[in-house]
Amino acid sequence: MRADSPDRPTALVDTSVALPALSELHEFHDVAFAAVSEHRAGIAAHALFETYAVLTRHPNLRVLPAQALALLDSTFKHRATPTAAAIDRALEALAAAAISGGATYDGLVAATAVEARLPLLSLDRRARRTYEAIGADVRYL
């Protein structure tokens, strides 16, 4: 996809935006859905899997796997995956910043956005330190 393609996303989302964008019951649905639409947002591969997992297991959502896939396919046309080199750089940055545990996965999402040269849309201010350590351009909604 060319950089100036009208189909190219102008941002990627993390799970904190993807999930409310897909769930009308979520308190941040309107803001998340508007941001996804405005940016033709793509989704980082890790966030894609995480969103699918939550959609299919959350007791209040009860989305069947096929429905979850259809929602994700219709909403996020672009999926971004990091290269091995980007993953290595991210792990080095996480170790240097003494970031561990579950925040490591936020680092993978951030590394994907950095490599795609796209801002990352997020509602997850708890991930700020991790996103900064990776050098992601994050736009908090």
Query: Contact at 8 Å (CB) between 42 and 81?
Result: no
Instruction: List helix spans (H) across the chain.
Output: 15-22, 29-39, 45-57, 65-75, 84-96, 103-116, 128-134
Binding-site residues from annotation for Mg(2+):
14, 106
CATH architecture of 12-140: 3-Layer(aba) Sandwich (3.40)
Query: Checking DSSP bridges between strand 12-13 and strand 79-80, what pairing results, if any?
Result: unpaired
Q: What is the pTM of this model?
A: 0.91
Binding-site residues from annotation:
14, 106
User: Would you say residue 26 has pLDDT above 80?
Assistant: yes
Query: Contact at 8 Å (CB) between 66 and 56?
Result: no
Q: How does pLDDT run across 27-86, given as a tens digit for each residue? A: 999 999 999 999 999 999 999 999 999 999 987 777 899 999 999 999 999 999 999 999
Nearest to 75 by CA among 31, 19, 137, 5: 19
